[in-house]
Chain A
């Protein structure tokens, strides 16, 4: 009997690792699962220690996910992705002819994948880096580079305020006021730093000391000299737009 094909399973759910292991044992007797991982960490060490020919990678894992693990493997072993439901990823896998299996496992589908892998193992692993990058970018799009939460001290607690709730930020000597529909808090981060981190499509600077959430603007009124005033939905107070920023509200 020839030497078994060495495989590694990475999934954060222990029962699903056990399940895949038992299915593979049944469908592919020539395969040996030499190692199991809870996430995609330490790929280098695993490659060194176990020299696997094949990785089964769950896409969603805490810490280092399956896509990041595939990137780390960098063509030094074959990769099969495992996922419960990622419509976009599945479409991309189909188009890019990447091996994948869906959870819960369908016996026939898994068998087909195993058969395909057996044929391919003698070849070099196909290049999938580019495709992995696109999928990773798409799946990771939800976690933007912009600020999503404001941490503000309220009494002895640290309140977490989603930026969507913030009506405006206004600098107040040493602090910055964070005003929402129902509360007000002070933070230390200055307006200038906030400007760099907030989504510029939603948060506009209208004054040296003020950043307003565009979603909460009710209207703009021309005021004294070249200034203007912004009124906010559901609030009586208005915010001053200084001369340098009135162009933001010129006829759009």
Chain B
């Protein structure tokens, strides 16, 4: 037993006292039915009670998967009652033969009482344990739900902040500053794009749901600005059928993909690159993708924060029927696509 101390786990002093008390009360309850003395009955009861308790404890801790734990525990109590009754007989200096002949009635009664009382006690214990397990599971579910709510809230907060990167804003303004002096028409075009972009990107100006067309226009404004800034290094194309522009599409997801395509795709690559935005409807899914011909993703490069945010929000909005997939493009570059259920026009 010493090599398996866990088998006796739960055999507390409290449990021993409780069993003793049950035995005392039960003996007191039946003493008027028999000719035996109270002490004699109490001794039998203790033998049955302790044996059952020991086997019940072991049955609860034994590691097996073949039978339900409760069934094994009940079986342990039945077996414990039988063995306990025999033990009681031995303690009272009777032989086994005596027990199964002249004293058979008493033995059967003791066993029966042991099984009866034992089962009531065990049923109470099992129910109580099940209740506390349910309670624990409920709490666990609750805390998982809290966790989910928390991460959603974080995703939303992140969405509200830092959409307009100061680096982007100041660099664009520096370009405008120069163009104002050298090419007023181009300056005005760039300012118009910046205004368009800011209108969509500033949280106060954002709507909770949006049409795909609106997201495309925001991305276009962003790409226009970068085309002026990066000169010949950047080109872009938008291949989105007019019929899909009125479709509902979650806000600020497309722009994140486009920003990544510029920042992590084309910009780090010294040669020129092209970004293509596509939208197709297929088998009830609306798939919007951003493809860049940039340097591709190196396994140790960061840049997944915006993507994690998109994934969290897709999960909250559509459950498992939406997804974000990032893939490598041949011969170089990345394609990131968002797939959502194709709903009716917004």
Which residues of A are in contact with B by a Cβ distance under 8 Å?
Answer: 12-16, 18-19, 22, 38-39, 60, 62-63, 84-86, 102-105, 142-151, 154, 157-165, 182, 197, 218-219, 223-224, 233-234
**Chain B nearest CB, measured from A235 CB (Å):** 11
Q: Does B326 contact A (CB under 8 A)?
A: yes
**Chain B nearest CB, measured from A30 CB (Å):** 22
B182 and A157 contacting across the interface, CB-CB below 8 Å: no
- Contacts A14-B231, A149-B297, A157-B328: A164 and B173 contacting too (C-beta < 8 A)? no
B171-201 contact mask (Cβ, 8 Å, vs A): 1 or 0 = 1011111110110000000000000000000
- Contacts A85-B167, A143-B302, A162-B307: A15 and B178 contacting too (C-beta < 8 A)? yes
Q: Does B1 contact A (CB under 8 A)?
A: no
**Chain A nearest CB, measured from B232 CB (Å):** 9
In the complex, which residues of chain A have a beta carbon less than 8 angstroms from the beta carbon of B181?
A: 22
- Contacts A104-B174, A143-B301, A149-B301: A12 and B166 contacting too (C-beta < 8 A)? no
**How far apart sit A63 and B270, CA to CA, in the bound complex (Å)?**
6
Please report the number of residue pairs spanning A and B whose Cβ atoms sit closer than 8 angstroms.
120
Q: Does B243 contact A (CB under 8 A)?
A: no
- Contacts A12-B230, A142-B302, A158-B328: A85 and B323 contacting too (C-beta < 8 A)? no
B174 and A16 contacting across the interface, CB-CB below 8 Å: yes
Q: Does B281 contact A (CB under 8 A)?
A: no
B255-289 contact mask (Cβ, 8 Å, vs A): 1 or 0 = 00000000000011110000000000000000000
**How far apart sit A162 and B323, CA to CA, in the bound complex (Å)?**
14
A19 and B300 contacting across the interface, CB-CB below 8 Å: no
**How far apart sit A84 and B166, CA to CA, in the bound complex (Å)?**
8
**How far apart sit A14 and B272, CA to CA, in the bound complex (Å)?**
14
B300 and A159 contacting across the interface, CB-CB below 8 Å: no
**How far apart sit A233 and B298, CA to CA, in the bound complex (Å)?**
29
Q: Does B290 contact A (CB under 8 A)?
A: no
Q: Does B5 contact A (CB under 8 A)?
A: no
| Residue of chain A at shortest CB distance from B228 | A15
**How far apart sit A16 and B179, CA to CA, in the bound complex (Å)?**
10
| Residue of chain A at shortest CB distance from B143 | A218
In the complex, which residues of chain A have a beta carbon less than 8 angstroms from the beta carbon of B178?
A: 15-16, 18-19, 22
| Residue of chain A at shortest CB distance from B322 | A182
Selected A-B contacts with CB under 8 Å, 15 pairs: A15-B229, A16-B175, A62-B267, A62-B268, A62-B270, A85-B167, A102-B170, A103-B170, A103-B173, A147-B300, A151-B328, A159-B325, A160-B328, A164-B308, A219-B140
In the complex, which residues of chain B have a beta carbon less than 8 angstroms from the beta carbon of A144?
A: 300, 302
**Chain A nearest CB, measured from B52 CB (Å):** 26
**How far apart sit A19 and B175, CA to CA, in the bound complex (Å)?**
8
In the complex, which residues of chain B have a beta carbon less than 8 angstroms from the beta carbon of A15?
A: 175, 178-179, 228-229, 231
A150 and B299 contacting across the interface, CB-CB below 8 Å: yes
Q: What 6 pairs across the A-B complex have the smallest Cβ distances?
A: A19-B178, A104-B174, A162-B304, A103-B174, A158-B328, A84-B170
B311 and A165 contacting across the interface, CB-CB below 8 Å: yes
**Chain B nearest CB, measured from A18 CB (Å):** 6
B171 and A151 contacting across the interface, CB-CB below 8 Å: no
**How far apart sit A144 and B301, CA to CA, in the bound complex (Å)?**
7
In the complex, which residues of chain B have a beta carbon less than 8 angstroms from the beta carbon of A14?
A: 231
In the complex, which residues of chain A have a beta carbon less than 8 angstroms from the beta carbon of B140?
A: 218-219
A84 and B300 contacting across the interface, CB-CB below 8 Å: no
**Chain A nearest CB, measured from B300 CB (Å):** 6
In the complex, which residues of chain A have a beta carbon less than 8 angstroms from the beta carbon of B344?
A: none
**Chain A nearest CB, measured from B8 CB (Å):** 16
Q: Does B246 contact A (CB under 8 A)?
A: no
B229 touches which of A13, A86, A159, A218 (Cβ 8 Å): A13
**Chain B nearest CB, measured from A8 CB (Å):** 18
A sample of 20 more A-B contacts (CB under 8 A), given A15-B228, A149-B299, is A16-B174, A18-B178, A18-B182, A19-B177, A85-B167, A85-B169, A86-B167, A103-B170, A104-B174, A104-B176, A105-B177, A145-B300, A148-B303, A149-B300, A157-B328, A158-B327, A159-B327, A160-B326, A219-B140, A233-B147
- Contacts A15-B229, A103-B170: A151 and B270 contacting too (C-beta < 8 A)? no
Q: Does B14 contact A (CB under 8 A)?
A: no
Interface centre among A13, A150, A197 (most CB of B within 10 A): A13
B308 touches which of A143, A162, A197 (Cβ 8 Å): A162
A164 and B229 contacting across the interface, CB-CB below 8 Å: no
**How far apart sit A160 and B304, CA to CA, in the bound complex (Å)?**
11
In the complex, which residues of chain A have a beta carbon less than 8 angstroms from the beta carbon of B320?
A: 182
In the complex, which residues of chain A have a beta carbon less than 8 angstroms from the beta carbon of B147?
A: 233
A13 touches which of B63, B230, B325, B326 (Cβ 8 Å): B230
- Contacts A104-B173, A162-B307, A182-B320: A146 and B300 contacting too (C-beta < 8 A)? yes
**How far apart sit A200 and B311, CA to CA, in the bound complex (Å)?**
24
**How far apart sit A103 and B173, CA to CA, in the bound complex (Å)?**
8
Q: Does B144 contact A (CB under 8 A)?
A: yes
In the complex, which residues of chain B have a beta carbon less than 8 angstroms from the beta carbon of A18?
A: 178, 182
**Chain A nearest CB, measured from B22 CB (Å):** 30
In the complex, which residues of chain A have a beta carbon less than 8 angstroms from the beta carbon of B218?
A: none
Q: Does B334 contact A (CB under 8 A)?
A: yes
